[in-house]
Structure 1
């Protein structure tokens, strides 16, 4: 029987969601401006209330139990609804302008959701969003045309101004009914000459002694997936961008192994800015690392 007298704290659910997203109580505590002991206590209190374990402890990161994964779905909806309600009835007086650049490969749907939530909370802050390849975003940020960028680079190449959000794998992807590549010229699908995935593909294929040619250049994830799924060629996609319309290509991954890629947050100006700092704080607690 359901215990109708049970009340789950929104603050505790916020803590749980942040711990689940970061996989680390210390990092969650930093993001939420709490002590690690306070974070740990709130998690334990939730587990006592619900009568189940929510986290698997003992590994390098904290993984969710089945019950924890279920609670996370509810926690995300509850916390977001709570914050939207608060924003409606107590709009912020914060003013300013934010120019945000995002590489689509990072987590565009989630970034847009965060921007929408931020706009509800701070309606007098004007937010502009630019979607472009990482190399162009870095140039715009260096030139003072963007305040915040979410971009990618190879693992280990982050600049001092970058904050690491997560690392993920890159994969060679092929159509579901793809044939073996032996003796064939590789038809390459890429995001275009300005994307570092394209340069990586060329370097890896050349190093493996494989003939290749560019079959299609497309600046969007949807276009890449459509072209690969249709059998026009193979391409490099990050873990976040994969779906079940394409398959990983183990033959190419063996011949031309790929490095990890880092998703990074960069702020153009280190001087304090209330709107920018509030957005960054919301962003890093809301983004989900790819599974």
Structure 2
């Protein structure tokens, strides 16, 4: 009976989840070529092709889809055995900007949970300004926020968030009338960025909807009440960027920055899994 290389199986599961050899390598703290070699040897051991490699993305083959659930169970069992003598449940207080995380939150949490079953995530989703204050006060261990200016340049940039003017496909705007905006109340840095862009372009606007949180704004946009400045990853499914159609100004990109007080190896590995999973969602 053949035995499987557990590291190769783990590399396969991560590559399947993240649809990228490069992202899997980041989580495993190794190289893309090393991950590729491990999976190739796993395929040879099984006599099955598990992944279909394309220039832009990695996809599961039919055999890979069949193997994936069993591979997950094997990795989980191995991780459970390794943690028998490890310290018991740990807690991470994580703050993440609501302009950064959207419908992919369950996927991100699932990924971190699989990477560290002994970790309890205590998550706060709020405005970047509020989270940075909580981080500085020691109320949270990790903050993932938007950087809107150069007043604070510490932290680690993990990706760039692209913003657009999103609206429902059937959103109606009459020529000559102010553009209807769905936004958050002051103070909100994204709101300020959006309104500055409109004012600088000489575009008249009016608040059609003011609500708390990106999910609320997204609901108003989907309902056709107005357009909103939203990150492309958090814009509701079915909405489209209305900038060209309505003649709206381009919005600047913003750095997504990681701050952490945690330095132990296990916590750093969990944070790496989270940030890698976040980067894998870029591309809308």
TM-score (norm 1): 0.74
Question: What whole-Å deviation, never above 9, does each CA across 1:196-227 have from its counterpart, x for those lacking one?
Answer: 22011111110111112223222333311221
Report what 1:60 is aligned to: none
CA separation of 1:263 and 1:179: change in aligned 2, threshold 3 A: same
Distance verdict in 2 for CA 1:51–1:276, change over 3 Å:
closer
Corresponding residue for 1:38?
34
Pick aligned residue for 2:54 from 53, 56, 64: 56
Assess if the C-alpha contact under 8 Å between 1:190 and 1:214 holds in 2: yes
Any residues of structure 2 matched to 1:77-92 within 5 Å, and which?
80-86=72-78, 90-91=83-84, 92=86
Q: Does 1:182 align with 2:180?
A: no
The aligned residue for residue 15 of structure 1 is 11
The answer on 1:289 being equivalent to 2:281 is: yes
**Aligned with residue 100 of structure 2, among 98, 106, 112:** 106
* Residues 112, 56 of structure 1: alpha-carbon distance in 2 compared, 3 angstrom cutoff: closer
Corresponding residue for residue 277 of structure 1? 268
Residues in 2 aligned to 1:16 and 1:116: alpha-carbon distance in whole angstroms: 17
Partner deviation per Cα, 1:216-261 (whole Å, 9 max, x = no partner): 2223333112211222211012121233443321336743111223
Does 2:237 align with 1:241?
no
Q: Matched residue pairs, number?
A: 274
TM-score (norm 2): 0.76
Q: Is the 8 A contact 2:9 2:75 kept in 1?
A: no
- Which SS does the other structure have where 1:281 is aligned? helix
Contact preservation (8 Å) 2:49, 2:61 = no
Measured after TM superposition, the shift of residue 177 of structure 1 is 1.6
What is the SS of the residue equivalent to 2:100?
Answer: helix
Q: In angstroms, what is the RMSD of aligned CA positions?
A: 3.8
2:147 is matched with which residue? 153
Please give the secondary structure, in 2, of the residue aligned with 1:54.
Answer: strand
Displacement of 1:169: 2.4
* Contact 2:50–2:62 (8 Å) recurs in 1: no
- CA–CA distance in 1 between the matches of 2:67 and 2:282? 18
Task: Structure 1: give runs of 5+ residues left out of the alignment.
Answer: 58-62
